[in-house]
Structure 1
């Protein structure tokens, strides 16, 4: 019988990556933010498309090429429609295209701040295990150990102790996964069979539901360097 409380955490960064580009207005490298706008230029059957960025200091614009001199028949119709309509969802996805940004900039600022939505996928009676599925639709700079420690209100040293005792497992199972960025589709399973407060404290923390426990004392690690 499956006795696993399954939840999904969807993690969404609050701020898109900000590349550092030489700014003609400021006279040196500055951080640029995406404006959420697309610029198109048609030349016969050829099309140029750029994502417009603005300097964080002086608002001067920089156009990051999405493609240049692309034949219209070679462009996916859905992408072409998104470009022509300035589709905000498509543009937001493109602002998180780190590979494209790294080809243009040697420094990219990424914020570790994010929003999180927690939802219950399956809750059997008498559950003893907690399984967390991580959904990360955009690249995030947050580390897995910091996410789990922060959301489950435990120290990272205790989290590591659970790993050492095989009470906290991950899929994929790699030695350094806790120190790496959150990856979409990662599964974290924690054995809580001996935790008396799993129905009150652990469930509330994992699902975002109100906690019925009167008072709780938490441990916190000092921030560790990235």
Structure 2
């Protein structure tokens, strides 16, 4: 690793997915945003739970069913505590449970705005290889070429030229790499040994938090 600048980019979506629901207040389908609040209802010894969403225009609510008629024993104490307190981390995991959300709504908007935290893992003096590891807890609705071009401050055509010249590799790799969304665990390795602005690209790659 004597010639590698290794960095990790941790990507966190700013906005959770927004289902389109027929809004009784607006009289037409509208995108709804999560309120971050859980609604619970006890029915004998069983519980029902919903995640409350609000219309982005009129604040009319829609209750997204999380489960019905579950016993307290089935849920476990930690889940029950998270439900009762609308625990933000637990709620956020539900907001990004896209398969379940898409069963409730025919259209779900996935905003592409992200917060990116960059950290240098290893920085060798005189490095020539740039190794970028992507970390994403939730789905990221952002194409890889757009992310790299923005965060490295280079054009997408230049990225493609590096790719065509064998100077940009990925793990895992695929032919249509740039057209796909960023995935957790993806690694991008660039050979910048012949690139005049190598240092500038490296500084952009390892720079601190970027929104």
Q: Shorter chain as normaliser: what TM range?
A: over 0.9
Aligned to 1:217: none
Aligned to 2:61: 61
Structure 2: distance between partners of 1:76 and 1:133: 35
Q: CA deviation at 1:108?
A: 1.1
Structure 2: distance between partners of 1:197 and 1:157: 16
Structure 1: distance between partners of 2:15 and 2:75: 28
Q: CA deviation at 1:82?
A: 0.9
Q: Structure 1-normalised TM-score?
A: 0.88
Q: CA deviation at 1:164?
A: 1.2
* Structure 1 stretches of at least 4 aligned residues deviating more than 4 Å after TM superposition: none
Structure 2: distance between partners of 1:31 and 1:97: 17
Aligned to 1:212: none
**1:135-146 alignment runs, 5 A limit:** 135-146=135-146
Aligned to 2:201: 202
Q: CA deviation at 1:205?
A: 0.7
Aligned to 1:177: 177
Aligned to 1:10: 10
Instruction: Tell me the secondary structure at the aligned position of residue 131 of structure 1.
Output: strand
Structure 1: distance between partners of 2:205 and 2:26: 46
Aligned to 2:153: 153
**1:124-143 alignment runs, 5 A limit:** 124-143=124-143
1:119 has 2:119 as partner? yes
1:193 has 2:189 as partner? no
Q: Structure 2-normalised TM-score?
A: 0.93
Q: CA deviation at 1:146?
A: 0.3
Q: CA deviation at 1:128?
A: 1.1
Aligned to 2:37: 37
Computed over aligned residues only, the root mean square deviation of the Cα atoms, in angstroms, reads 1.4
When residues 197 and 26 of structure 1 are mapped into structure 2, their CA distance, relative to the original with a 3 A threshold, is closer
Count of matched residue positions in the alignment of Structure 1 and Structure 2 = 208
Structure 1: distance between partners of 2:59 and 2:190: 47
1:112-135 per-position Cα deviation (integer Å, ceiling 9, x unaligned): 111111100111222110000111
Instruction: Tell me the secondary structure at the aligned position of residue 196 of structure 1.
Output: coil
- Contact 2:131 2:190 survives alignment (8 Å): yes
